[in-house]
Structure 1
Amino acid sequence: MEYTQTIKHTFQNTSANAFAKTRIALFVATIIGSSAIQAQESASPGVAEQVEYERVVVTSRKRSESMNDVPISINVVSEDLINNLGASDFTDLIGVVPSLTAYQNGPGRTRLSIRGVANGGGNDNDTQNQETVGIYLDEIPISMGGMNPELALFDLKRVEVLRGPQGTLFGAGSMTGTVRLVSNDPNLSEFEGKYEASASTIEHGSQNASLKALVNVPIIEDKLAVRVSAYYLDNGGYIDNSLTGEKDLNDGNAKGAKLSALYIPSDELSIEMSLLHHDYSDNGRPVDIDSTPLFVRDYPSFDGYDDTMDIGNLTLTYDLDWAELVSSTSYFDRSIVNPRSLDLLIESALPPSVTPHELIDFTDSKVIVQEFRLASISDSDLQWTVGVYADKKDVFYENTFPVPGVDAILGTPSSDFGAPVDHLYYGFDDLTVKTYAVFGELYYDIGDFSITGGLRYFNWEQNIEFYQSGLFNGEANSDERPKGSVDGFNPKLNVSYHLNRDNLVYAQAAKGFRYGGINGAVPVSVCADELAEVERDGGDTRFFDPDEIWNYEVGVKGSDSKGTISYNATYFHINWTDMQTSRSFECGFGFKENVGDATSKGIELEVTVKPIEGLTLSAGGAYINTSLDADVPNLGAQKGDAAPFVPETSFTASAEYSMQLNENIEGFGWMNLQYTDDRFTEFSKENENYRKMDAYTLANLRLGVRFSGYEISLFANNLLDDDGVVRAIDRPPFDPPASIRVTPRTVGVTFRGGF
């Protein structure tokens, strides 16, 4: 077919090697696309173009478009699916979005990855963690390395998961994709509200309870409205401490409120403002020790977590008639207290008279972001979006290891090592990062063909001051670090062909990138031999460079004319170069470095079918193979070793059915199944910390009725009570063999209402 030849031509001009690796996928895409058209025409000959149905609108390219018209791989999690899942934060969505995976270390300590670009490891609080997946709340970037915030999913239109590099429009943090939480706007014409109450019981644990509510008030009809929402989640626990007798120690709560306002003073200008406050705290990590029964641990140190954040945004939109001018100003202020048990280390290195105490990390971050962009709104075949972006991030990180009475027991004051009294370690990082960028995308239609070209110029600078001290550091040091800086260009090329109004096939080549960083000093007094080995190999522990990917993909997406069948299929091939990895020394310290290249390739597939009125069937899955391209001695890894924490196969399937029970009552049922394949904690089986995490399956169920604007439902999450491991831990003498598991079976009831 003609569109196939055009895609071939484009890929040959972009990268002959890339095209050679995607010929099979192009052929498959052609077959699928052609079959979809034939099925559509045979189902409704002659009337397909006259039938209208509700289209899913997304803003993935920072303009409102039908999802079927956007030639990239997008998964949209609807508000209904969020409600059926009972999802409290974005990690609850991981199992229902093909190709989205995570390295999890407890609530608020999750690193997302897309399409297998992951290498695990590292300290959660490390200020130098550079994310590969950007997370946005509307216009506000909120991603933060290994500490991505877990905001409650309430009053959202949808969650958009954009797979593949999004660096042109969203920058370095979107190296492999972007997750966008899209809120409902204030309603200018109607007074409305909704509320929700839920209660449930966790198998082997305690109870959950939650309250959520919102009200929307038009103050000046069609001119000014205010929307206020609030939530409180009391989360039960299920981890017991056999040493202290404490039950369900990982219980916690989340609470927050959001105020948003929309003001339209004229036909040309709209002003939208939002303020959000969020608090989360718990009494311990959901970690159980492998040598004990499930959901039990036996160490005394407290490792509860506290997370407070304030997020604000002001967006001005002005209609110039020929283009739309947008100014977005965002503010993000977050404070984290993240204790961690090091009891095993104390037991192995210090006298028995030393009482174990947790290591405590404090992180305070303040970020200011400004973006201006201009997007065409004419009917021309040439459309475009251009903009400028700047941000400034200040992060202060304090790493303390207080052990009461340790100076007297050891007979050596901590001050001899530059630390405060009774501190085995004390250190801090004071970090300032400044970024600016200029970006643009052009969209040109030639009949049924569309060509998209994108480019982003970026400039990044980082300064850091640090101090490290204490007995476990061996000395006090504050060696001056080099200033970090990098600039460059990030391109994208996309060619698509509309098979008809509702179906298209596309091919894309895009670069994804993330910034490098500056490592703290590794103390010579305790790590001399290992430092000498790095120096002999020509390495440098002071800093690490950016890494990048080239993502090549072909896909087909669309629906039949009535919207009863929709689908999305993508084949991708990723070349990942200069991987940023964390190297751990036996002395307990480590650093980030660029070692090795990898290749990730796979398939993403999603299908939704509505065979009869009231019934919706959906299924999706991903096959991902990410492996090293060559031996990496520093990781003890060999060519062909698979990336850690990435399942080779995953899939999800669900069925929802609703029917009128009588004139006033509608009944509904929803079932969902999620499968996650085996995963591993390290590249190499020879690594002493290597552990296998077995495959697991989650089943979820919700049954309920709707009447007079109300809904009551019974639900069971993890119905089969699977104890699947999402994170395996084993790094003596710092961490004993342990696991973080999926939440046990949770059964409860939800009541929703509105006006």
Structure 2
Amino acid sequence: MRKWKEALCVSSVALATSVAGPAAAQERVLLIDVPAGTLEAMLAALATQTKTSFALDAPLPRHRVIALRGRMTIDAAYARLLAGTGLSARRVGPATFRISAAPAAPNAGPTAASADPTVSSDIIVTARKMRELLSQVPGPVTVHVLDGSAAAGSDAGTSAVATQVQGLIATNGGPGASRLFLRGIADSPFIGFGQSPVSVYLNEARITYDAPDPDFRMVDVDRVEVLKGPQGPLYGTGARGGVYRVMTIAPDLVRFAGRSRQRLAALLGHGVGGSVEAVVNLPVRQNQTALRLVGYADVAPGWIDNAGGRSDVNQTVVRGARASLRVLPREGWTFDFVGAGQSIRARDSQYVDRDREELTRGDRLREPRSNDVVLTSGVLQGELGSRVLTVSTSLATQWTLKVDDASSAAAVLGLVAPLRYAETRTYQVFDQEIRLANKSGRTPWALGVSYLSSRSSARGRASEAGPVVAELLDASRSVTETAMFAEGSRPLIDGLRLGLGLRVFRSTVKEDRDDDGGTEVRAKTSWGVSPSATLSWSPSSVSLAYLRVASAFRPGGLDPSNMETRRYDADQLVAFEAGFRQNSINGRLQFELGAFSSLWSDVQSDYLLDTGLVATRNAGDARILGGELTVRWRPTAAWSFVAGASGQRARLIRGIDGADLERDPRLPVVPGVSGHFEVRHSINASSWQVSPTVTGRYVGRSRLSLDPGLDRRMGGFAEFAAGLEVRRGPFAVELSATNIFNARGDTLAFGNPFSVRTERQYTPARPRAFAISLSRDF
């Protein structure tokens, strides 16, 4: 037993010798970032990060612990990690700790399952391409940590995260068929060839340019970082609404570990589904090379019935895998390689053509959908003195298939019903960036160069009773962007800081479109500049106020409905933002308040042609006003409350060439008000941990589209959910109930582009569902 305890020293004494000395080791303040996990795994990660070692004089509890993040001394990090475990760490050498049982407190009762919340735990974010504490970022950044979150697992994707992040909207077009919008910057729910307002990333790899959100599942994910508002200086064209960045858990170089989870779900009166997922961490060479493997599969039951006799037609199957390799070639340098793939197959669409209270639609042809994505990326990062060099390269390819019943448009297309329309698309994004950033100091900065190449193609075919009878669409689009960028800040006076950012880019767009309007090829090259400026004031270590102005640009393209130029122009967004963050001294209460005003000129909007195909045009100029509030409160170690609310007014203020505006010039999909809350209770009684959770959200009224004939109302509903996690040692059982009151909200007033003009369409929220899962850490 004694040999086992001593063998569990996961960081060698050789590492400890790299610490300068006793005083330096004890007094250094470091940025600590240890993902949630078992106590054993987290101690190993902490020892690796701080270059310390430890020995055990007592067995470690097997329960999971919340993530440890923030700026602190090494002694404070060990103390915070062991809080509430019955153990304490004592320094016995310059970089060596001995962990033993802490003196028992008299009359000790149940304790919280997590560390004492009276000590503020900050989060390290890298969304601005520098390592920063969230509390010190002078801009609208939200970090959703998936520790015990209902938005985690193979059954949870972007839509689950959107319910927890104020201002983030995911149109419910179906798995892998949604668009993302932030802070009211929404152009259309239809997926045409317009560039997406929100850029989607997996770690350092860009996934989308003009593709729909691939809906990566939240398996083995540490956190999601959301940058709100235009991010042109750092992320280039397209990031007008912001950036959605999924950060996975990196391989552990020290410890073999893993996790498995099985889940069973049921929709009352409808189908039954389930999911499995597994994670394995394999140290290949201790402290130098590790491999992390992730695999998952999810079968989501359907709930839409077809009047022709088919029931629960929209069953969806998701499969995915990811491999991450981390290598430390030398001290201070890291190479990360990630290969990931995911496949989504939906048997049918998920809309109805009757009242939204109904879950049955008229008899029609089957409308399957699919979305496949494959990603490879490599990131080399290392220290050059006080600077950090990052070189990243990635290639993402996405394939989509969408089949629609086009019988109602057969006469317009000159064909005969019943008619089936199948559209396949291929998207490819190659992204490369080299940047340099300073690690510390009073003037943080990052600068670099980047190259992006995006290629997309679409082909649409109509068939009557089997063979293809008409080629309705054959289009391709390629975009390249070469850029130089820089962003940094410096103090003006005590507490007051000025930040500036600039991106200079060259963008080339080439399009080839062959549809019922004829064949046309166009190419255009443009130069541009995207600046930003921030003024921040930090009156104390627990508060921050900021003012920010930023811009972003999106290139133009082909518009077959424009008889004069056959093109749509580039659009540009300028946003003015103000925000305030405040933490209480003891860290129990945190709130964030933000306000924004955006001017959007020559808004590009995807719209439906009379044939049912999608094209892009300029809709006019828009103004967006809004505000957000998020509050986090932990009154005790056992209770936590999170609530958020937002309100926005997104309107067109003038049409193209002085054209008259619609009576209701609201931008599509944007709800006027929305909000969410979460209440969690966590207790640890003896060897058992019990954590009940209650969540709720409200989605306000919105409209479908700027198209005159598609001014459809949607939204205006509330949903509630509850969950219970029971954990003992490495085992955990989770029970959950979603949409408890079976709300029938219309999440998207659209489903079929060929019949939407002649009938009302609704996408009802998923009915009440129950699930049970069993997981095990090893």
Question: What letter corresponds to residue 402 of structure 2 in structure 1?
Answer: N
The equivalent residue for 1:688 is: 709
Secondary structure of the residue aligned to 2:410 is helix
The equivalent residue for 1:212 is: 277
Secondary structure of the residue aligned to 2:539 is strand
Corresponding residue to 2:350 among 275, 280, 286: 286
Corresponding residue to 2:508 among 461, 464, 470: 461
User: Does 1:578 find its partner at 2:599?
Assistant: no
Q: 1:332 to 1:750 in 2, by over 3 A?
A: same
Spell out the pairing of 1:419-458 with structure 2 (5 A cutoff). Answer: 422-446=468-492, 447-458=494-505
Corresponding residue to 2:755 among 734, 737, 753: 734
The equivalent residue for 1:478 is: 519
User: Deviation per CA, 1:460-489, whole angstroms, max 9, x where unpaired?
Assistant: 112223333xxxx3x8x323x221322200
User: Does 1:511 find its partner at 2:551?
Assistant: yes
CA distance in 1, matches of 2:152, 2:717: 18
Q: 1:559 to 1:133 in 2, by over 3 A?
A: same
Q: 1:293 to 1:568 in 2, by over 3 A?
A: closer
Compute the RMSD of aligned alpha carbons: 2.4
Corresponding residue to 1:150 among 185, 195, 215: 215
The equivalent residue for 1:650 is: 674
Is contact 2:173-2:748 (8 Å) kept? yes
The 10-residue stretch of structure 1 (331-340 or 565-574) with the greater mean CA deviation from structure 2 = 331-340
The 10-residue stretch of structure 1 (210-219 or 99-108) with the greater mean CA deviation from structure 2 = 99-108
Spell out the pairing of 1:648-727 with structure 2 (5 A cutoff). Answer: 648-660=672-684, 662-683=685-706, 687-727=708-748
Per-residue deviation, 1:386: 0.4
Secondary structure of the residue aligned to 2:234 is helix
Q: 1:201 to 1:268 in 2, by over 3 A?
A: same
The equivalent residue for 1:48 is: none
Is contact 1:731-1:737 (8 Å) kept? no
Is contact 1:75-1:161 (8 Å) kept? yes
User: Does 1:68 find its partner at 2:135?
Assistant: yes
User: Does 1:304 find its partner at 2:328?
Assistant: no
Per-residue deviation, 1:677: 0.8
The equivalent residue for 2:625 is: 601
The equivalent residue for 1:375 is: 437
The equivalent residue for 1:544 is: 568
Per-residue deviation, 1:53: 3.1
User: Deviation per CA, 1:404-462, whole angstroms, max 9, x where unpaired?
Assistant: 37xxxxxxxxxxxxxxx752333311332211111000211233122110000111112
Per-residue deviation, 1:221: 1.2
CA distance in 2, matches of 1:261, 1:454: 33
CA distance in 1, matches of 2:663, 2:199: 29
User: Deviation per CA, 1:329-384, whole angstroms, max 9, x where unpaired?
Assistant: 10112222211221222378778xx45232111112222211100111243x2221
Which stretches of structure 1, 4 residues or longer, exceed 6 Å deviation after superposition? 347-351, 633-636
User: Deviation per CA, 1:534-585, whole angstroms, max 9, x where unpaired?
Assistant: 65xxx42x22122111111111013112210111100111111111124555
Q: 1:102 to 1:650 in 2, by over 3 A?
A: same
Question: What letter corresponds to residue 451 of structure 1 in structure 2?
Answer: L
Q: 1:331 to 1:703 in 2, by over 3 A?
A: same
Corresponding residue to 2:379 among 302, 308, 315: 315
User: Deviation per CA, 1:113-140, whole angstroms, max 9, x where unpaired?
Assistant: 1111113254x2x3x2211111111011
Per-residue deviation, 1:730: 8.5
Secondary structure of the residue aligned to 1:433 is strand
Per-residue deviation, 1:145: 3.0
The equivalent residue for 2:123 is: 56
Q: TM-score, normalised by structure 1?
A: 0.83
User: Does 1:334 find its partner at 2:374?
Assistant: no
CA distance in 2, matches of 1:373, 1:108: 32
Q: 1:454 to 1:232 in 2, by over 3 A?
A: same
Per-residue deviation, 1:197: 1.1
Secondary structure of the residue aligned to 1:289 is coil
Structure 2 runs not aligned, ≥5 long:
1-117
The equivalent residue for 2:56 is: none
Q: 1:158 to 1:395 in 2, by over 3 A?
A: same
Question: What letter corresponds to residue 430 of structure 2 in structure 1?
Answer: I
The equivalent residue for 2:528 is: 488
CA distance in 2, matches of 1:640, 1:303: 32
The equivalent residue for 1:171 is: 236
Q: 1:286 to 1:277 in 2, by over 3 A?
A: same
CA distance in 1, matches of 2:614, 2:370: 26
User: Deviation per CA, 1:227-258, whole angstroms, max 9, x where unpaired?
Assistant: 00100101110111112x11111102111110
CA distance in 1, matches of 2:129, 2:274: 37
Per-residue deviation, 1:263: 0.5
User: Deviation per CA, 1:179-210, whole angstroms, max 9, x where unpaired?
Assistant: 11011110111111111111111134201200
Q: 1:457 to 1:631 in 2, by over 3 A?
A: closer
Is contact 2:230-2:551 (8 Å) kept? yes
CA distance in 1, matches of 2:733, 2:292: 25
Is contact 2:173-2:751 (8 Å) kept? no
CA distance in 2, matches of 1:247, 1:730: 18
Secondary structure of the residue aligned to 2:430 is strand
Secondary structure of the residue aligned to 1:189 is coil
User: Deviation per CA, 1:696-718, whole angstroms, max 9, x where unpaired?
Assistant: 00101001211112211210011
Secondary structure of the residue aligned to 1:60 is coil
The equivalent residue for 1:400 is: 461
Is contact 2:322-2:341 (8 Å) kept? yes
User: What is the percentage of aligned positions where both structures have the same residue?
Assistant: 22
- Count of aligned positions: 658
Per-residue deviation, 1:84: 5.8
Structure 1 runs not aligned, ≥5 long:
1-50, 406-420, 523-533
CA distance in 2, matches of 1:713, 1:594: 49
Corresponding residue to 1:188 among 235, 244, 253: 253
Please state which structure has a larger fraction of its residues in helix.
1
